A and B are shown apart, each in its own frame.
Chain A
Amino acid sequence: EAEVAQSPRYKITEKSQAVAFWCDPISGHATLYWYRQILGQGPELLVQFQDESVVDDSQLPKDRFSAERLKGVDSTLKIQPAELGDSAMYLCASSYKSTGANVLTFGAGSRLTVL
């Protein structure tokens, strides 16, 4: 069964350092999402791509976060500099299209701890 791949699974870093997460969606999925899930809360969308274009990044803290999907396939989410409040699970998901009926398939996530 096709999966969304994410790496690293776990990352511990000190505040002010840079950190990057990588996501490889299911082949053929045009829409890619990055969600942030703080412990005990529901996921919140950070950025949504349609192919290589950003569709929604309204909740992305753009002073420190950046995301790219250069060739419309895999994607990288970067945080620089990391802050204590960035400790969370970063989830990547993909779907065939971005209309409401299309189901999102999630990766296992990247858990970030900022010390």
Chain B
Amino acid sequence: AQTVTQSQPEMSVQEAETVTLSCTYDTSESDYYLFWYKQPPSRQMILVIRQEAYKQQNATENRFSVNFQKAAKSFSLKISDSQLGDAAMYFCAYRRWEYGNKLVFGAGTILRVKS
């Protein structure tokens, strides 16, 4: 079974600074997708960024980018120019390419942004 590990229960960053959240996963599959979701306090979970495993180029979305290392099974999220609104729980998630497969989440990392 696939597993996702987020080793940092909590991280802090100063406003305008850069922070990196770590994620590793375990799979024997070659085709899959990786995601970072953000869950603000008392608000719904939203997608931050997505990476297809067959793409070597790292995904970027404005201030958010990933460092995808397929051989190492590592998928970290970098947030540049951190803003107060970035404070949330961040979940790393994995999904196989095939039909009918579920999204498997890590335990999450709480990100605190200091002003």
A interface residues, Cβ below 8 angstroms from B: 4, 33, 40-45, 48, 50, 55-56, 91, 97-101, 103-104, 106-109
Q: Once the chains bind, are B103 and A109 in contact (CB under 8 Å)?
A: no
Q: Once the chains bind, are A100 and B46 in contact (CB under 8 Å)?
A: no
B78 interface residue per 8 A CB criterion = no
B107 interface residue per 8 A CB criterion = yes
Q: Once the chains bind, are A45 and B91 in contact (CB under 8 Å)?
A: no
Main secondary structure of the interface of A (DSSP, over half): loop
> What are 30 of the A-B contact pairs (CB < 8 Å)?
A4-B44, A33-B102, A40-B108, A41-B108, A42-B91, A42-B93, A42-B105, A42-B106, A42-B107, A43-B91, A43-B105, A44-B105, A45-B103, A45-B104, A48-B100, A48-B102, A50-B100, A56-B100, A91-B45, A98-B100, A98-B101, A100-B31, A100-B32, A100-B95, A101-B33, A101-B52, A103-B47, A106-B37, A106-B45, A106-B46
